[in-house]
């Protein structure tokens, strides 16, 4: 790393970090610091580092990203729990087994065949949930299996084993009127927007759960965004694709959900405090994470 232009002030300390974090994990944070050239309209990233690159700054960026993942996970956990409640309330109004009944779900989900499995999307979803319940060692699951051997758990018990991905799939498989009911509970303008927000948050959750780099990674799912007439509080990133598809967009979604789940939450202030810890650098900036200028002044964060 030193031979490629990185400044390392303390070799022993740097070696200790590399032994604990790993070179290849840390190299993901040093990638933006590498020199690049444009050839034929295409950016080619080289091996050597830009002038002024320091090992300590790379470590600071790594630590910042670690704190960021924990904070984003905190928000997603609250959203996940609240979403679980809304889905069970909405479907449970029809039947304790509404999640199992094709008539209570959208036909594209409950009756259409998935070419990859030869089963309906719903039956494949149910198979995975039933397997999870059968394997579960949770006390509530063991109690139900002892007391009601051979029976299927009702919606409100089965829901306790859904992860975020399972819930987002089920939400997409609900009837549009029921999707709208859930979206409205969180103040989301439409079920179409809600669907993409949940898929986007699920991708982010998986990134965080696997301790992967988050701060400047583009979202694999393009969230839909409301127009300024639908949602004034998000108007500042309307049409800003870079902000919408980077970390800032995810943070906006989290803040928006939390404003209805827990309006007095300190999460927004904690995010602002953490962002202020972003490493002082002449090479990388929060623009790579999609943060617009003066974002702190927007009403969403106040």
Same domain (yes/no): 41, 132: no
Same domain (yes/no): 44, 66: no
pLDDT of residue 189: 95
Same domain (yes/no): 16, 125: no
Give the rounded percent of residues in the chain with a pLDDT score beyond 90: 92
Same domain (yes/no): 102, 22: no
Same domain (yes/no): 125, 148: yes
Query: Average pLDDT over the chain, rounded to whole?
Result: 95
pLDDT of residue 161: 94
Same domain (yes/no): 115, 218: yes
Same domain (yes/no): 150, 278: yes
In a domain, residue 1? The reply is: no
Angstrom CA distances, 79 to 7, 84, 299, stand at 42, 8, 21
pTM for this prediction = 0.93
In a domain, residue 282? The reply is: yes
In a domain, residue 99? The reply is: yes
Same domain (yes/no): 143, 237: yes
In a domain, residue 3? The reply is: no
Same domain (yes/no): 209, 249: yes
Same domain (yes/no): 48, 159: no
In a domain, residue 102? The reply is: yes
Count of CB atoms situated within 10 Å of the CB of 245: 19
In a domain, residue 286? The reply is: yes
Same domain (yes/no): 229, 86: yes
pLDDT of residue 43: 86
**Residues in the chain with pLDDT values less than 50:** none
Same domain (yes/no): 250, 194: yes
pLDDT of residue 39: 82
In a domain, residue 6? The reply is: no
In a domain, residue 44? The reply is: yes
pLDDT of residue 41: 83
- Residue-range definition of the domain harbouring residue 201: 60-301
How many domains does one find in the chain?
Answer: 2
């Amino acid at each position: 790393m030193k031979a490629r232009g990185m400044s390392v002030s303390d070799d022993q300390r740097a070696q200790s970090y590399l032994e604990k974090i790993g070179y290849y994990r840390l190299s993901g944070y040093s990638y933006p610091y590498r020199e690049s050239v444009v050839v034929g309209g295409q950016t080619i990233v080289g091996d050597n580092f830009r002038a002024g690159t320091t090992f300590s700054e790379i470590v600071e960026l790594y630590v910042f990203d670690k704190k960021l993942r924990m904070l984003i996970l905190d928000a997603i956990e609250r959203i996940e729990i609240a979403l679980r409640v809304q889905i069970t309330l909405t479907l449970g109004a029809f039947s304790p087994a509404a999640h199992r009944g094709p008539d209570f779900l959208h036909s594209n989900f409950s009756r259409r065949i998935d070419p990859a499995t030869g089963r309906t999307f719903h039956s494949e979803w149910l198979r995975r949930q039933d397997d999870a319940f059968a394997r579960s060692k949770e006390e509530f699951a063991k109690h139900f299996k002892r007391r009601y051997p051979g029976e299927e758990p009702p919606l409100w018990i089965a829901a306790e084993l859904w992860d975020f991905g399972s819930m987002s799939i089920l939400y997409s498989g609900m009837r549009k009127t029921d999707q709208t009911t859930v979206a409205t509970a969180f103040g989301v303008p439409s079920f179409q927007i809600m669907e993409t927000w949940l898929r986007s948050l699920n991708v982010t959750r998986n990134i965080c759960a696997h301790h992967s780099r988050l701060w400047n990674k583009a979202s694999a799912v393009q969230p839909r965004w409301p127009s300024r007439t639908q949602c004034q509080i998000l108007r500042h990133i309307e049409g800003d694709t870079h902000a919408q598809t980077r970390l800032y967009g995810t943070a906006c979604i989290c803040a928006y959900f939390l404003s209805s789940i827990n309006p007095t939450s300190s999460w927004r202030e904690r995010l602002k405090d953490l962002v202020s810890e972003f490493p002082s650098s002449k090479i990388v900036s929060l623009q790579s994470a999609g943060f617009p200028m003066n974002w702190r002044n927007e009403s969403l964060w106040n």
